[in-house]
Amino acid sequence: MTPSHVRPLHIAIVAALTLAVLTPVASAQQQPEPKTTDAGMSMHDKRAQRLAQIRGESGAKSNDKNDKKANEEKKPALYPNATRVSPEAQATGKLLKQLQGLQELYGKQDMAGVMAKADEIAAMPTASNYDKSFAYSLAANAAADQDNQAKAADYFRKALDSNGLDNDSHYTTMFNLAVIQYQQDKYQDALATIDRFLAESKSEKPEHFSFRADLLANLGRNDEAAAAYKALIAKNPDDKRVLMNAVAALQAADKFDQANVLLEAAYKRGMLTDGKELRALYVGYMNANRWNDARAVMEAGSSKGILDQNPQLAKDYMVLAQNAYADDKIPLAIEMYTKAGPIADDGEAYLNLAKVLDYSGKKAEAKAAAQKALDKGLKKPEEAKDILTR
């Protein structure tokens, strides 16, 4: 028996993305400006709040300019360093009710109605750049809600091209476009959009740079992705999602040693609390021929209940056993096969255990293992039967 090759473990690149929905801003002569939806919140979570805002339930109304200025100061700009000069983003008096009606349709989840009315509003001769941008942005979210990514992307582009939103809303819309392009698997387009977003918004938020790294990884630009993730880890050492994506990018770039360094450091800090995360580490050790380290992680994970006692773990124990046997570490090989046998989905681990025991002269134990192998099922039962008849 010789140790089988351990296939490198590649962790999937993941991106957690949500869209943000805007709230119409009235002209100061019509009514006070309502509070806007936070950019990081999903489009579903704020429907009730947005309707309350339209009905005037979000707070006491006031026409005092000082009060309005104080409210603005309480809510800092999302992109204070943006290169774009933020326009006076307000709905025209004649179309304010139309935009509020549009949002009512969205609140009622009449997505087809939202898109139709948004097109109608944008086509009106009196529609301002803001009116168009807002209508298109809400239509984009409606299209995304219906899983019509192509329409969503088109509406988000139109919202941007109309160039009527304030900076916070404008760049939220731009990021939403990148999200939709990502969901369409148009990674190159999404990368171009996020690069524009970062260049213009001057955002320093880790989630935006993480998204860019995700795109690089999905484009197969693994060296660049790995470098981007490592830079993020340096600034955000406790972000496990970034860590695991960095590991995935390094593995995809065949830089297993560097991936192991990140995983090992995270393990020592107690960050690897999931079975898949532990397996990423111990398989990395196996790939680096660090068999003792791999075994220590597996045994610690098993004793703490982090690693499920399942056929996958059995296969991994069998790899350790095969390596131990090849190194003439017979007692260790017996121990690893013994661990693998009960949790394997067939009798192969028990058969290998029987062979090692038979090789060691432990005939009675070998026969017992051979019988267990037959009981669990074998592709070639003849080998186990041969041990039983000796």
Among 149, 92, 159, CA closest to 119:
159
CATH 3.40.50.2000 fits 221-305, yes or no: no
Query: Which residues have CB under 8 Å from 231's CB, separation 6+?
Result: 209
State the pLDDT at residue 75: 77
pLDDT category of residue 300 using cuts at 50, 70 and 90? very high
pLDDT category of residue 91 using cuts at 50, 70 and 90? confident
* Euclidean distance between CA atoms 174 and 122, whole angstroms: 19
Helix (H, G, I), strand (E, B) or coil at 292: helix
pLDDT category of residue 390 using cuts at 50, 70 and 90? confident
State the pLDDT at residue 290: 95
pLDDT in tens, 182-202: 999 999 999 999 999 999 999
State the pLDDT at residue 30: 34
* C-beta atoms surrounding 203 within 10 Å: 20
Residue 279 near residue 316, CB atoms below 8 Å: yes
Q: Which two tokens stand for residue 186?
A: 């148009």
* Euclidean distance between CA atoms 14 and 256, whole angstroms: 19
State the pLDDT at residue 351: 98
- What angle, 0 to 180 degrees and rounded to 10, lies between the N-to-C axes of helices 381-388 and 348-359? 40
Residue 43 near residue 20, CB atoms below 8 Å: yes
Q: Which two tokens stand for residue 34?
A: 């309502």
Helix (H, G, I), strand (E, B) or coil at 347: coil
State the pLDDT at residue 253: 86
Among 270, 277, 278, 308, CA closest to 295:
278
Segment 104-133 shows an average pLDDT of: 95
pLDDT in tens, 320-376: 999 999 999 999 999 999 999 999 999 999 999 999 999 999 999 999 999 999 999
pLDDT category of residue 230 using cuts at 50, 70 and 90? very high
**Per mean pLDDT, which range of 93-102, 269-278, 299-308 is the poorest?**
93-102
* Euclidean distance between CA atoms 7 and 222, whole angstroms: 19
In the chain, % of residues over pLDDT 70: 81
Among 127, 196, 136, 126, CA closest to 161:
136
pLDDT in tens, 147-175: 999 999 999 999 999 999 999 999 999 99
- What angle, 0 to 180 degrees and rounded to 10, lies between the N-to-C axes of helices 222-235 and 240-252? 150
* C-beta atoms surrounding 79 within 10 Å: 21
* Euclidean distance between CA atoms 278 and 45, whole angstroms: 34
17 half-sphere exposure, CB direction, 13 A CA radius: 23
DSSP string, 129-169: HHHHHHHHHHHHHHHHHTT-HHHHHHHHHHHHHHT-S-HHH
Q: Give CATH 1.25.40.10 domain extents, the chain.
A: 221-305, 308-390
CATH 1.25.40.10 fits 308-390, yes or no: yes
pLDDT category of residue 93 using cuts at 50, 70 and 90? confident
Place of tokens 């038979």: 358
Among 280, 330, 327, CA closest to 301:
280
Query: Which residues have CB under 8 Å from 63's CB, separation 6+?
Result: 28, 32
State the pLDDT at residue 163: 96
pLDDT in tens, 4-28: 444 444 444 445 455 666 665 554 3
Q: Which two tokens stand for residue 70?
A: 């104080």
